[in-house]
Structure 1
Amino acid sequence: MKKLHQLYNVKKDIDIRDIKTNSKLVTPGDLFVCIMGVTVDRHDFIEEAIKRGAKAIVVNRDVNYDIPTIKVSNPNDELNKLLIKFYDDPFKDLILIGITGTDGKTTLATIIQLLIGKDKCMYIGTNGVSYNDVTLDTLNTTPAIEEIYKYAYIARKAKLKYIVIEASSEAFFHNRLKDLLFDVSILTNITRDHLNVHKTIKNYLKCKSLLFKQTKNSGFSILNKKDKYFHYLKKICPGKVYTYGSKHTHIKLINYQNTNKGTLIKFQLNKRTYLINSPLIGCFNVDNLLASILLCDILKTDINRVINNISNIYVTGRLENLDFGQKYTVILDYAHTPNALLQVLKHFKKQKRNKIITLTGSAGGRDKEKRSIMGKIVLKYSDWVIFTMDDPRYEDPESIIKQMIGKIKKKNYEIIVDRGRAIKKSLTIAKKDDIVLILGKGRDNYMMIKDFKIPYCDYDIIKDYFDDKK
């Protein structure tokens, strides 16, 4: 909390409890900043903010309200300066690690936090905010900039040293990360996604590249050398660049082998060879783990602590193997892009002893062109597919499913729009040694219908199914 006169040259001695740019989130005592969004002007919501208890506003034009009004030339540029004052520049004592990529952000960020330790590192991303034994919910994969500053302030108070954050392309597009400087930037991969927002892959790449442009000159970047855009991104990185993803990189993968409990990985780092047991599965998670180990080494984290922490890695809703005593495998995963689906299905195709049953859908209000690509992939690599709904928003889920199926002549599928019923059907038809892949939502706790988040969770449906069979 700060006094208004500590932030601006005004005589009013008012307590400011928090800073908000979303009028719907304003609570009594807040300072409301009227930034310009991509399609929204926050000046239009001043009255709503005041009704909710805003005690002062920051604007760029003459307005007439009965609360302190601070006029600036550009509220968007003003916001970061204000946040630095209000939260006492929280990032000056923290190392900020940003992760971007089409797939794998949540997994990589979670691995990094667990290897460094929750007592030293805060995670911010799709699965909320976590540190020590604390877990908080967030509205977006990458929260608004004022929320990020608040979490940084909390991290400093908790005497943490690091923050690892998922930096999504939409966050850069909507200026949620504007003017934030990163100590470390990491790339997982770049394939097509979010073209409903970015329109072209070129625009999508441009937003992704902002993470690396916003990396400090004194910082460094870690890039996946296998990625198609590796050379493009390497040229724009201001600091030193480290690499992973192939044999000719700073951390060298020698080989890996799938096991019943995960993956046995052999790699070389600093001319020393290591053999580790990872609880994660899939070649993509080999890359995620090696990128994390490389980061820890650069940060001079004790390598023995890192190796010992590998056995503790668990990423909720990401290739999560659910064991309820059934005689078949149930995997819960967030895969919702063509590349993610392909990688997951190719991995399990190699492992299968019987049939692969895949449940999937595609979100409404998102990139429509990827739907038919996703349909082809799941029908090619699965023995049976159940197409269902996945956050339809304002679209008709049956129409989305028809777009996924397209003109494919294969008939190894059925349509069950109700996702709960679809999941129960996939589990009912599964036989011994089958693999049931429930894809698209991970452990999301809602279904997006129009603009409403309806309480819903794939995991709860699965658990209830097996509980009822006891």
Structure 2
Amino acid sequence: MGIAEEREDVEEEGYEEYEEYEEAEDEGALDEAAEADRDGIAADEDVGEPSTSYPEPPDRAFRAPDLFGEAALFDAALWLATNYSSIEVTGVQSNPHLVTPGDVYVHHPGLTGEDEVEAVSVALAQGAVLVVAPHLPPSSSGLEAGQEPLARVVPDDVPLLRVKDTAEAGSRLAATFYDTPSRNMVTVGVVGLQGKTTTSWLVRGILEELGQTVGLVSSIEHAIAEDRLDEDGYLWEQLEEDPSADRESSVPFKLIPYEGKYEQNYGRRLPGLNAQKVLAGMRDRGAGVAVVELQSDGLLLGTYDYVSLNVAVVTSLSPRPGLPAAQQPSELVAAAADEVYAATELLAARLVDPETQALVLNADDPAAEQLLERLGGSVPVVTYGVVNKGADVVAESIKSNIWETELIVRTPGGRLQIITNLLGRHNVANVLAAVATGVALKAPLASIVAGIEAVEIPGRSEVIDEGQEFSVVVDAARTPEALGDMLDALRAGGARQIFTVFGCSGNEDASIRPRMGAVAHSKSDYVIITNENPRLEDPAKVVADIVAGFPDDLVNRYSAYAYFPFQDQGRTPLWFEPYLQKAQRDNKRYVMEDRYSAIRAAIGTAGPEDVVLLAGKGCEDWVEHAAEDGSILTGWLDDRVEARNALSKLKYLKQIPRFNRDTLPWGSRIEGLMETLAVDPAELSAAAVGGLEGALD
């Protein structure tokens, strides 16, 4: 019996408190004590359903001296009032290519890859009426006015302001120009080492269940309701044709151009100026609530200084909350945890109003107590825990299979039963964080349950179900810790065999590659190493780094072979192919650099109750390879699309008589070749090798 089928039985086992709260009237929301201009979030308020029909954002304009004065850039305001008092500003922009007439252009070095002169020239050509640029370095301080590097491109009628910190100035100007939009919404900020994206999406689900039009700032997308926003807060529009629009999948060994897509900037912090513009785009279109994924480096650099928060959610301050020191990750991750803690301390210092603010904190985290002491009871705190049973929100029981997870959650208001497709202990913590946020917002418990259960997060433990007898899971796990968590969850859920398809990105931290290989090897039945995003690195080098994490006895077993067998067969001579295939088959450790092929190999081999885990890319719908000119070429490839396409073709494989798909490679050709050759490749002479190559060509 599946978990969904057990719900009725569980409800009969005495969860009366849940039923009472499901029927109870709304008891209010955090905003009851908030400023009068904030929209409410209580479920019984007459807010209407989210709609894609939005009000038009208002036209805005400032005299330049007034804008800089209200932004507390007083020296600049005085200078502008004296010299350029009539200039009217109609926007603030950090990307020179997106400047429109009337904009202030704020130059952020390195943002678009152009140098200062090039970027400013583009902005002026686009219609910028004022330029803000960083102070010149000390070596330039002796230059005369005519030697100002921008003097030859900035005309006399356009003010040029040099400031110490353009990021700070840009944030101030945008917050002023757009009237600090977070103050007009109930705003939830999510920070932590892990779980930010998943928690943010779950919280959005709860708020949407309350009937709110919700804005979201996350690493996957910026959005209002069902519509995506670009980094300037405009509704995203497809501006070019999408070559993949009519395709069922990509193709093997070839890139389909990546065009006409919503480009997701994973791992890149949204500049403070743009954070204000995105939030304004939400508020101006009617959003009453915003959920913001906060990057720790952004908190430290002041990116969110002008974002007012009602609820701060801290998912994790330590690398592995609730696990012993022996299971903690590398020094690199520990250093990131130090950054997160420092950022969270800054965030906590902004929580000062018990009437309008609250903190949600992971009680399993060893650093949580220290943070609570720093707060000193200044705002209400709601804690949650998987391990710490003294928390306000606790998982009393956890049941899972290879498709979904069922939780019984204790809250201050009663018990909840939640069924979610999110798998793993780490995702249990994310669900609890969302529940605790709902409690902090005084949302009805029934709405918390319904909101969480309705959420499907792209590429986060995303189950691809086309009616097959086995599970296919797409997950963004791209670190050893995240991959291990997901594999542990699948094993605990009863997977008969686990097929792990993964790779590592090129031009990124190579030190994790052998650790990824070790985790995949130790926790999987079948491993298929494939490309993730090779970029400018040789894919074979990335694969070799991963294979270095396999046990020494496995690797050394083939040290005498003419070619190392754990590589893509396209990189060895044809005569060696059967030996390579046999070594990979005997160990169930395969290398297929082409991700299209690797996904289909795993899905075609899996049987009933097995799990195919497509790890690393999550909802990324692109792949990056090196172009001949040394640049990076981006093509379309989406694990979810490829998985669905592969599953749709299984029926054709099943129609082939006596076709063995129990292991790789499929069929029986390898057995015949090995019987014919009947020789150890390590013993082959050069002459024999040449003869084999001729016979098999």
Distance 1:211 1:48 in 2: 38
Match of 2:192 among 90, 101, 123: 101
- Please name the residue that 1:443 is paired with: 619
- Contact 2:421-2:462 within 8 A present in 1 as well: no
Larger relative CO (CA 8 A, sep 6+): 1 or 2?
A: 2
SS at match of 1:182: coil
- Please name the residue that 2:181 is paired with: 90
Match of 2:547 among 405, 421, 427: 405
Aligned pairs for 1:361-380 within 5 A: 361-380=503-522
Distance 2:163 2:598 in 1: 54
- Contact 1:168-1:208 within 8 A present in 2 as well: no
Cα displacement (A) at 1:401:
2.1
- Cα 1:259–1:369 change in 2 (3 A) is closer
Distance 1:144 1:347 in 2: 36
Match of 1:243 among 383, 403, 408: 383
- Please name the residue that 2:364 is paired with: 226
1:159 aligns with 2:311: no
- Please name the residue that 2:679 is paired with: none
Distance 2:282 2:302 in 1: 23
Distance 1:322 1:41 in 2: 42
What do residues 85-129 of structure 1 show as CA deviations (whole Å, max 9, x unaligned)?
211221211233222233322211100000111734211112212
Aligned pairs for 1:135-154 within 5 A: 135-136=228-229, 137=262, 138-140=264-266, 142-154=269-281
- Cα 1:81–1:353 change in 2 (3 A) is closer
| Letter matched to residue 546 of structure 2 | M
- Contact 2:189-2:313 within 8 A present in 1 as well: yes
| Letter matched to residue 48 of structure 1 | V
SS at match of 2:163: coil
Cα displacement (A) at 1:27:
4.8
Question: Which is further off, 63-72 or 284-293?
Answer: 63-72
Match of 1:266 among 405, 408, 419: 408
Cα displacement (A) at 1:297:
1.2
- Please name the residue that 2:489 is paired with: 347
Cα displacement (A) at 1:69:
1.9
- Cα 1:440–1:251 change in 2 (3 A) is same
Cα displacement (A) at 1:223:
2.2
Q: Which blocks of at least 5 consecutive residues in structure 2 are unaligned?
A: 1-59, 69-80, 136-147, 230-261, 321-330, 555-586, 626-630, 652-697
Aligned pairs for 1:277-296 within 5 A: 277-296=419-438
- Cα 1:403–1:39 change in 2 (3 A) is farther
Distance 2:333 2:495 in 1: 40
- Please name the residue that 1:386 is paired with: 528
- Contact 1:345-1:381 within 8 A present in 2 as well: yes
- Please name the residue that 2:319 is paired with: 191
Distance 1:159 1:83 in 2: 19
- Contact 1:33-1:59 within 8 A present in 2 as well: yes
Cα displacement (A) at 1:261:
5.7
What do residues 321-341 of structure 1 show as CA deviations (whole Å, max 9, x unaligned)?
111232221111111112211
Question: Which is further off, 267-276 or 346-355?
Answer: 267-276
- Please name the residue that 1:456 is paired with: 637
- Contact 1:108-1:292 within 8 A present in 2 as well: yes
1:111 aligns with 2:202: yes
| Letter matched to residue 319 of structure 1 | S
Cα displacement (A) at 1:236:
4.9
Distance 2:549 2:450 in 1: 50
Distance 2:504 2:199 in 1: 23
| Letter matched to residue 642 of structure 2 | I
What do residues 249-285 of structure 1 show as CA deviations (whole Å, max 9, x unaligned)?
1212211222576333222211633333334332222
Match of 2:133 among 39, 59, 81: 59
Cα displacement (A) at 1:469:
4.8
Distance 1:362 1:331 in 2: 18
Match of 1:2 among 55, 58, 61: 61
SS at match of 1:432: coil
- Contact 1:352-1:435 within 8 A present in 2 as well: no
- Contact 2:202-2:451 within 8 A present in 1 as well: no
| Letter matched to residue 243 of structure 1 | T
SS at match of 2:406: strand
- Contact 1:36-1:76 within 8 A present in 2 as well: no
| Letter matched to residue 202 of structure 1 | A
Specify the structure having the higher radius of gyration (Cα).
2
Distance 2:497 2:389 in 1: 34
| Letter matched to residue 139 of structure 1 | N
Match of 1:31 among 104, 115, 122: 104
Whichever structure has more strand as a proportion of its residues is 1
TM-score, length-normalised on structure 1?
0.88
Cα displacement (A) at 1:170:
5.1
- Contact 2:132-2:163 within 8 A present in 1 as well: no
Distance 1:199 1:69 in 2: 44
- Contact 2:180-2:307 within 8 A present in 1 as well: no
SS at match of 1:160: coil
TM-score, length-normalised on structure 2?
0.61
- Contact 1:119-1:131 within 8 A present in 2 as well: no
Cα displacement (A) at 1:176:
4.2
1:46 aligns with 2:120: yes
1:133 aligns with 2:193: no
- Please name the residue that 2:580 is paired with: none
Cα displacement (A) at 1:149:
0.9
CA RMSD of aligned residues (A): 3.0
Match of 2:161 among 71, 79, 100: 71
What do residues 189-245 of structure 1 show as CA deviations (whole Å, max 9, x unaligned)?
3439xxxxx967335522553144134222333222223543454455575443212
- Cα 1:377–1:203 change in 2 (3 A) is closer
What do residues 334-374 of structure 1 show as CA deviations (whole Å, max 9, x unaligned)?
11112211111011112234211001111223322222222
Cα displacement (A) at 1:25:
4.3
| Equivalent pairs, count | 464
Distance 2:392 2:616 in 1: 33
SS at match of 2:172: helix
What do residues 140-167 of structure 1 show as CA deviations (whole Å, max 9, x unaligned)?
4542222221121122223323211222
- Contact 1:356-1:437 within 8 A present in 2 as well: yes
Distance 1:302 1:427 in 2: 42
| Letter matched to residue 443 of structure 1 | C
Question: Which is further off, 261-270 or 333-342?
Answer: 261-270
Aligned pairs for 1:172-187 within 5 A: 172=299, 176-177=303-304, 180-187=307-314
Distance 1:41 1:230 in 2: 43
Cα displacement (A) at 1:247:
0.7
SS at match of 1:122: strand
